[in-house]
Each structure stands twice: as structure tokens, then as C-alpha cells.
Amino acid sequence: MEVIGRTGNGNVSSSSSRPSSVKIGALFTYDSVIGRAAGPAIAAAVDDVNSDPSILPGTTLNFVIRDTNCSGFVGTMEALQLMENEVVAAIGPQSSGIAHVISHVVNELNVPLLSFGATDPTLTSLQYPYFLRTTQSDYYQMHAVADLVEYYGWREVIAIFVDDDYGRNGISVLGDALSKKRAKISYKAPFSPGASRSAINSLLVGANLMESRVFVVHVNPDTGLTIFSVAKSLGMTAGSYVWIATDWLPSVLDSTEPVDIDTMNLLQGVVALRHHTPDTDLKKNFISRWKNLKYKENSPSGFNSYALYAYDSVWLVAHALDALLNEGGKFTFSNDPKLHDTNGSMLNLSSLRVFDGGQQFLQTLLRMNFTGLSGEIRFDADKNLVNPAYDVLNIGGTGSRRIGYWSNYSGLSVVAPEILYTKPPNSSSNRHLYSVIWPGEITATPRGWVFPNNGMPLRIAVPNRVSYNEFVAKDKSPPGVKGYCIDVFEAAVNLLPYPVPHNYIMYGNGKRNPIYNDIVQQVALNVKHQYYVSLVGAIELCILIFNFGFQNLAVGDITIVTNRTKLVDFTQPYMESGLVVVAPVQKLKSSPWAFLKPFTIPMWLVTGGFFLFVGAVVWILEHRFNNEFRGPPSQQLVTIFCFKTLLGLDAGENTVSSLGRVVLIVWLFVVLIINSSYTASLTSILTVQQLTSQIEGIDSLISSTEPIGVQDGSFAWNYLVDELKIAESRLVKLKNMEEYSIALARGPKGGGVAAIVDELPYIELFMSKTNCEFRTVGQEFTKSGWGFAFQRDSPLAIDLSTAILQLSENGDLQKIHNKWLTYNECSMDLSPADGGGSRLSLKSFWGLFLICGIACFLALIFFFCRVCGQFRRFGSEDEESIEEIEHDTSTSGRRTLRSTSFKDLIDFIDRKEAEIKEILKRRNSDNKRPSQSSDG
């Protein structure tokens, strides 16, 4: 078949391979907000394509329109009739629900389906290979809503949505996006499509009973305004409410001409999202000619963003057809055997034919890349348009005001996304939004939640304790309770910017302290309590439990421990806490041998040894020079052991040799330091009061087999058993301070306990009440704090944490502490029974001893080297010199010097230095005399 192409720019193009016309289909609801804008846009796009000689030359683009009438059944029938026309592509539908149904039809016939209005994220699944979305997916829109919730610091939202594929799947994505921001959907309020006003009224009344005041509305454009009308009548558009609408609302407002004042009054303060399309010349030109489009003569609707997506969908098909034809693609159809075998059905399914080039055409569509009215038309790997972005609008007055943008590339910003695309991600410094005027003309950001309007004040349960009433106790005066915990709670509540009505209810039988691990667990499980039950394994707590709506809360000195943080959220700790060991103590008695305690036994032995060693070294060095270091052996031993000599204190025992003086100076330095340290340690031992206990800390307590006292109801029981593996048979429950004192005084042999393990605040109060008769031993072996326990993600927990920090910063928390918990300070640690904490050990002085030893060793080496040198000079003497030496030694009563034996060496060393020098001098004179005679 030969087809003559169209003429454009003076050129005529003809091709025998190009068809003269190609049919495309369009499916949407004529009488709808989206359809009234999409219809003229599609018709205008087809005219523009056919009048443009640069696209599809020689081929006319024809389109067939079918009205789905917002019905899945009607839409399916219309889609089947549309496919009988052998269309190569179908544009639409606008409804996600109808798109799900029609996608099965196009899958069978291999006809691409390009939807400009079906935003359900699940349509991009592999189940629908021929579905192609030419608008933005709600996947991105719901992440934009989640970023808004996080930006304003809200933790819970209420979702109002139409209960169809579009609404359910969009809200499902919103829940996942919020969970990544540590927020959640606290209540879902679905309604059926086409629900009556009374049904919507009942729905909003139920939602208004919830504590969250952040409402996300995700509905169809044609029914969404009814929700705001009902909310207005219920007073839900006043201050403290937050309304976030998805893109359906801007679509309604943009398409309404002129502006309806009554409608705008319903929407004051609403924040909405609108598809972002860049302000290009193409877009401006299209908007300027919108009013003159001949297809809008009977349409009362104005322009909205879906018109741009519908217009670009036609051009996307045209570009893909042109590319496919240029590649030699064929547009042929063939019969489907499945549709011919209808088992006698009257449906004319045999008229439906399969598009043979459907798969090739789909791939061509996916690789298209051009700029349309809505921006860049290009698909990613998930068949979604690239660079999804939304305008963030604040509705007020008679219109809307753009307060920022959101894009998948840069998040929230006041800078247009197309500008940020040119910058590296996360590089923008404008990650914020402009100010918002909220419902009720409020400029301050609403906190996003209130106490439900059910007329019930908070029910606060207070434990009826039998000990430590300073923390919490029953009181005859209002409000019925008193104590440190109550004052902290009341002070924190008074700092909140909203009232918190509450009543206190005593919890417990008053005969024993309640146990609260199960209470914390039941707070997490949302269980209401109105009576006392025995619970296992919790801290001795001042517990305040109250219920509002569906939430329980525990307030008091609840210890923040790991197993509890897995169940509930805690506020900022308002008191530091931790487990300590308290034990009975006694004063150490004075001992006549106290003077030995400053040094350890090794220190005494080494010091004594060095006294003898240094004395011997000094004797060796002084023996040849100093007459006071000579004499009979008994006298020499006395000299070595003489204390005065060693200390150099006797004026009659002066060192003469240089080496001896060096060694003595070093030793005096060592003695000075040791003496000073000994004096200081002995003074501390004799003057500082020493206390002793058989238990030195948690380690010695674990290794022993003696009983351990634990406060009744304390989490310490579980900690000792589960974490430290202490047998339960060793643990003894104690109810009050009197039992503490009795058990510790009796001791393990008298039926009491060796020590008590409890939290530091209780122990400080206990020791003060007992006049410091008992003390803590060892270190605090756990670190924790007291806080208020809330159900997960409770907004009140954040506000109370902020209030507690304010109390701490302005000093009010310390004032409350001083009011209830003033006590005498007790020393919190003990000296060991043997005084080992103040004894001096060898490791503190081994460096001094090392220096002294090295000095002695070097002095001895130098001394012996010098003596050996002198001795060698005598070894070469002749017989005459030897006889002279022997004669001299006989007159002095000394032994004869031998030149070669060790005995001779010892005898030589024993000689006085002066005698050796005299002999050497005399020998030198005798050696010179013969030579002088011969010269004469």
C-alpha cells in the first residue's frame, strides 16, 4: 500500500512502507475533574501531531474515545469495544481501579496502555507489563507527605482514604514511608467510593476521638470536598488541626472557574501537594491557548496538571510510532485462538485481535526521551517518569500559596527542583519551607495531637508503698498523694503548653511494695488497670499509670533497663541511679605493729637487702683509703651493719674515696624518698579512720555463698539472678529500712544477710537514716536512671522529656530533690581491712632501687679495674723488688705479696692505697739510680 506523506516546509515525503493512518484509543470519564481537562488536551495533542510535518510524515493519527463512566465494569466493556478498532495504543484510564482491570485486556492483546491519571504504585508491578504511567506515581507523593510529617515533628497521622485500589495502595505506601521517619498511621478511616454524607460524618466523628490531629486525605477529586464540608460542620477545621491533601485537591481547585468562595472557606489552612511541572515556554504557550481550544466549548472545567500529562501522552505515542516506522516496524494484527474458542458464548470476542508489534512498540515507548509540557519525558527501570517532584501549597484566602517543593532528588526545599538537579545531591542549604498559615489562622506549627475529646481525665495510678515514702506516699489532702515523684510529675506537666487533666488512684494493697515489670509490659500492651495485682520482677517504683482513650502511661521513678526499653518509650531520665552493695562496717583497732603497715613485705625485704648491699659496696670502696673502714674482721662487720654509716650520719665515718661518695650520694637520695613516703603512709594509717567489711564489692559478693538482701519489688532480683547468675536461694526479700538494719546487724551467722544490693537513691536515704552505720562497698556496678514509661511513639513522652530538661536547666529539679531527699553525707567507699589501699609496694620504688644498684655496680667495676691495673704492674718486678716488698710487709706484720695467685690479689686489695703508691714510688727511684751512676 502506497501512502502519500504530508507536506511541510515545502517538502513532500512519501513512503510505501508507512501506513496512511494509525489508530490510538483514549479511555477516561468524560464528566469528571480529570476527564474534563484530559479530553480537550488529548484532542489538541492529536491535532498538533497531525499538523506537525516533522512527526509521522505521511501518516495520520486518528484516535477513538470511550467513556469509562467511573465504573470498572463499564470501563472493561468500553475497553473491549475500543480494542475492536485495532488501536496500537490506549491512553488512559484516569482511575487506578479501572486500570487494574483493563491492564489484563491489554496484556492479552499486546497493546500498550499509557495512563495519565492512574497513580496507584502497584500498577508498575511485573503483573502489568503493558501498563505505562505517564504521570507521577503515588509512591513518591506518599514519601513527600512523610517528609512533611517529619519536617514539622509529628509522630502520628490519621489517614482518610477511599477504599479502592487507588486509596488502599497509596496509604499502604504512606505507612511504610512514615515508619522510616519514626512515625506511623495511628488510625485508618476508609470509606467506600460514592459514600453518603452521613457515612462520612460517622467516619470523621470516630477519627476525631483519636488523639492525633494530623489528617492525610487521599481521595478522588470528585468526592473529596465532601470530607472538608463535613469536617467544617464538626468543628474539625479550627485551630490545632492539620489537614494534608494529596494532588487531588489542587486538581479540583485549578479546574474550578471562577473560584468558589464557599469552597475556599472549607479549605483555609490546608497543605496540599500538586504535581510539579517546570514553567517552560511550551507550557506557557499551551496554557495561553487553553481557553480557545474548540473542544472546550461545552466544558465548564478549567485547566489542571492532568491536562499536561494527557497532552504529553499523545506526543509520546507519536514519537514512538515515528521511531518504530523509521526502524521498519509493521502494524499488523492477528487472531488470538484463545478468543475464538468461547464455548458458545454470545460475546463477540473473536473481533478482538492481537497487535503483533506490541512488544516492539512497548520497548520503543520505554526508550523515548524528549521534553514535553510536563517536563522531561523519560522512564527509569521501574517504568516511572524520572525526576518526580511536587509543589507544596498552602491554601488560604481565595487561592493557594506555594511554600516550597519536594523532589525525590533533594527532598523539601524552597528552590525549584530543576535548579537543584544541576547540583550534587544533599548539597542544598535551603532544606526548609516557607511559613504556613494553619487552620484557625495560626502561624505557630500545631503540635499535631490533643487529648481525645471523650471527657475522661487521665487516670494516674500511684503505688501504695510501705517504705521510702519520701518518693511517693498517700496523702489526705488533695490531690491525694505526695512525694518526690509526684512533685516532679506535676512540675513537668505545668510546663506543658496545654492542660493535662488527671486523677490519682492508689495502686497496691499497702502491705508490701508492688512489683512493676508486668505493669510496664501491660502499658506496652495497652491494658487498663483499676485494681492491684501482684507482678513479678520490677524495680521499687513510684508508678503512675493512667489511661486516655487507647493509651496507658506509667510515670514515676521507673528504672530504665534494657528489657523495658524493648517494650515502651522512656522520657529523659530525671534522676541518676544504679545498683550498689551496702554492708555492715566496723572500725579497725589500733595495733602495736602499725609501724610495719606502710610497706609491704617485699618492700621491707628489698629495702633491708639494699641497706646491706650498699653498706658492703661502700666498705669495699673505702677499705683501701679510709682507716675507719680497717681493722679486725669483727670491727669490719660492725661497720657494714652500722646504721649510722649507711646513712652517713656519723661525723666520724666520713667517706674518702670519690667512688664511695658517689654511691653514698645516690643512696642518700633513695633513702630520702623512701623515708618521706614511709612517714606519709604511716601518718595516714595512724590518723585517718579505717573502716572494714568482709565484703569488698560485687565480685566478692558473687564468689561467696552468703545470703544477699534485695528490696521487695526491686528489679535487682532479676538482675542478680539473670545477669550475675546468683542462686535465688541466696536472695532475701526485705520490705523496709527497719528490715535492712536488722538483717545487716545480724549478719549471715545470725540469720541476716552479708550485704544488700539496691539502687543508689534508696541506699543514700537508708544510710542517712541510720547515721552512716552502714556503708557502700566497691563501685556502682550498673548505670541507669529513672524515667517515665510510655507506650511506643507517644507524643506526650517527647513533651514531658522537654519539660524535664527545662526543670533540670532552671534548677527546679534540684529544688524538688532538696525538698524531699535531704540527708547527711556518708563516705561511699571503705578502706580494705588490711589497709592495702595505703600500703607502699615494691612496684612504686623499683626504679629507685634500679638506679642505686646500677650506680653501685659501675663503681665496683671501676674500682676493680683500677686495682687490677696496679696489680699487673707488680707482676713484672724482679726478685729484689719482691724481697723489698716482703721486707716491708714483714715489718708491718702483713703477708707476702704473690704475683700470680688469687690469694696474692686479695692480699694486694687489702693493702692501703697509700702503701701501694709509696712502694711504686720507691721502685721507680731505685730503677733510675744505676743509670745515673754510669753516666757519672
Residue 332 burial by CB count (10 A; 0-12/13-18/19+): exposed, middle or buried? exposed
Of 246, 95, 251, give the one whose Cα is nearest residue 165. 95
Work out the average pLDDT over 515-541: 55
pLDDT, tens digit (0-9, with 9 covering 90-100), for 267-326 = 999 999 999 999 999 999 998 888 777 665 555 557 889 999 999 999 999 999 999 998
CA 678 to chain CA mean position, Å:
52
Alpha-carbon gap, residue 656 to 566, rounded angstroms: 81
Where helices occur in 793-901 by DSSP H, the ranges are: 795-809, 812-820, 846-875, 879-891
pLDDT, tens digit (0-9, with 9 covering 90-100), for 593-607 = 766 778 888 888 888
Q: Which residues pair with 355 in a beta bridge?
A: 333
Of the pLDDT bands very low, low, confident and very high (cuts 50, 70, 90), residue 191 is: very high
pLDDT, tens digit (0-9, with 9 covering 90-100), for 364-374 = 999 999 999 99
Whether the per-residue pLDDT at 898 is higher than 80: the answer is: no
Whether the per-residue pLDDT at 554 is higher than 90: the answer is: no
Of 135, 134, 662, 757, give the one whose Cα is nearest residue 766. 757
Work out the average pLDDT over 787-794: 81
Q: Provide the pLDDT for residue 470.
A: 87
The three cell numbers of residue 378 are: 523519560
Whether the per-residue pLDDT at 87 is higher than 80: the answer is: yes
Q: Residues 884, 895: contact at Cβ < 8 Å?
A: no
Residues contacting residue 179 through CB under 8 Å, at least 6 positions apart? none
Question: Taking the C-alpha atoms of 472, 473, 476 and 481 in order, what is their torsion angle to the nearest 10 degrees?
Answer: 30
Measured between alpha carbons, how far is residue 902 from residues 229, 621, 866, 898, 909 in Å? 124, 19, 16, 8, 11
Q: Provide the pLDDT for residue 7.
A: 34
Strands 755-759, 708-711: pairing kind: parallel
Q: Provide the pLDDT for residue 924.
A: 66
Work out the average pLDDT over 505-516: 77
549 φψ region: left (φ > 0), alpha (ψ -120 to 50), beta (else): left
Whether the per-residue pLDDT at 82 is higher than 50: the answer is: yes
What average pLDDT is seen over the chain?
A: 81
383 φψ region: left (φ > 0), alpha (ψ -120 to 50), beta (else): left
Kindly report which listed range (174-178, 272-276, 495-499, 875-879) carries the lowest average pLDDT score: 875-879
The three cell numbers of residue 678 are: 614511709
pLDDT, tens digit (0-9, with 9 covering 90-100), for 375-384 = 999 999 999 9
Q: Provide the pLDDT for residue 631.
A: 60
Q: Helix 305-326 and helix 358-366: axis angle, to 10°?
A: 120
CA 261 to chain CA mean position, Å:
48
| Higher local confidence (pLDDT), 821 or 630 | 821
Whether the per-residue pLDDT at 543 is higher than 50: the answer is: no
Whether the per-residue pLDDT at 586 is higher than 90: the answer is: no
* CA Rg value for the chain: 50
Kindly report which listed range (33-42, 400-409, 860-869) carries the lowest average pLDDT score: 860-869
Q: Which helix (H) or strand (E) holds 506?
A: strand 502-507
Within 10 angstroms of residue 781's Cβ, the number of other Cβ atoms is 16
Of 101, 135, 122, 103, give the one whose Cα is nearest residue 384. 135
Amino acid at 493: V
Residues contacting residue 854 through CB under 8 Å, at least 6 positions apart? none
405 φψ region: left (φ > 0), alpha (ψ -120 to 50), beta (else): beta
Q: Provide the pLDDT for residue 533.
A: 33
Alpha-carbon gap, residue 238 to 445, rounded angstroms: 13
Alpha-carbon gap, residue 90 to 310, rounded angstroms: 12
Helix, coil or strand: residue 375: strand
Q: Which helix (H) or strand (E) holds 67?
A: strand 60-67
Helices and strands of the chain, counted as H and E runs: 31, 35
The three cell numbers of residue 15 are: 513512503
Considering only the C-alpha atoms of the chain, give the largest distance between any 2 of them, rounded to a whole number of Å.
166
| Higher local confidence (pLDDT), 128 or 622 | 128
- Maximum mean pLDDT: which of 136-145, 531-540, 647-656: 136-145
Work out the average pLDDT over 56-62: 90
Q: Provide the pLDDT for residue 896.
A: 44
Q: Helix 760-769 and helix 737-746: axis angle, to 10°?
A: 80
Q: Provide the pLDDT for residue 856.
A: 86
Whether the per-residue pLDDT at 420 is higher than 90: the answer is: no
Of the pLDDT bands very low, low, confident and very high (cuts 50, 70, 90), residue 868 is: confident
Q: Residues 92, 53: contact at Cβ < 8 Å?
A: no
Overall pTM > 0.75: no
